[in-house]
Copies of this chain bind each other. A is one copy, B any other.
Amino acid sequence: MGTKQTLTPEDWIKAAFKLLTSSGPKAIRVDYLCKELGVTKGSFYWHFADLAALQAAMVEHWRRVATSDVIASMVSPELSPRDLFIRFIEDILDVPTREYGGPMTEVAIRHWAAGDEAVHAVVRNADTERLAFLTLQMRGSGLTGPEARSRATLIYATLVGLKQLTGEPGLPRMDIPGFVDAMLRPAPSNAAAVQAALVASATPVRCPEPQLEVQ
């Protein structure tokens, strides 16, 4: 009743992301997937030619939802540049992860890419595409060409880096609107100052006292 009769490729991809984020790239295995979905191996090979095909589909899916789809959803012209930036950044870092491997999909993909050149190539493409879009928007906000590019690079690198740290407890939470405002200010062009603005605007999460294991 509540259970679906037939599996779709999306079911396999979703299960594979779950394995990726929970147990790493090497956990993307046919038997694990089948256990997760309650079927036997033969079923997998009806949907995919081989494991490489599923992996390619995973990466391509990620590329679409975490890059092209987000960019495409931005072309509605009612957004101010500032709001567009905020939404883009929040979407890139969070939206595509909701349905699949949880909030750490982006980090898991980059970890996977470190050991798989095919994955790495797609991640590079995604970075390029996102950066080109951010640069274009920066330029549309009145910044000059090189300035637009360098600010876009800085903002993107900073946020990707912070996202990596999000896994650890006691992370600083980032104030994305405040950061965007600092990045859009035309004058100072001072990377260090902008970086300082981000750090200053980051509200540290309540940091629990370090607990010693006392019994």
Contact = CB atoms under 8 A, between A and B. Distances in A.
A53 interface: no
Interface stretch (A63-71, A111-119, A184-192): A111-119
A82 interface: no
Range for the number of chain A residues in contact with chain B = under 10
A87 interface: no
Interface of A: 114-117, 120
A82 B120 CA distance: 39
Contacts of A114: 117, 120
Nearest to A118: B115
Contacts of A117: 114-115
Contacts of A120: 114
A115 B114 CA distance: 7
Nearest to A119: B115
A128 to B, nearest CB: 18
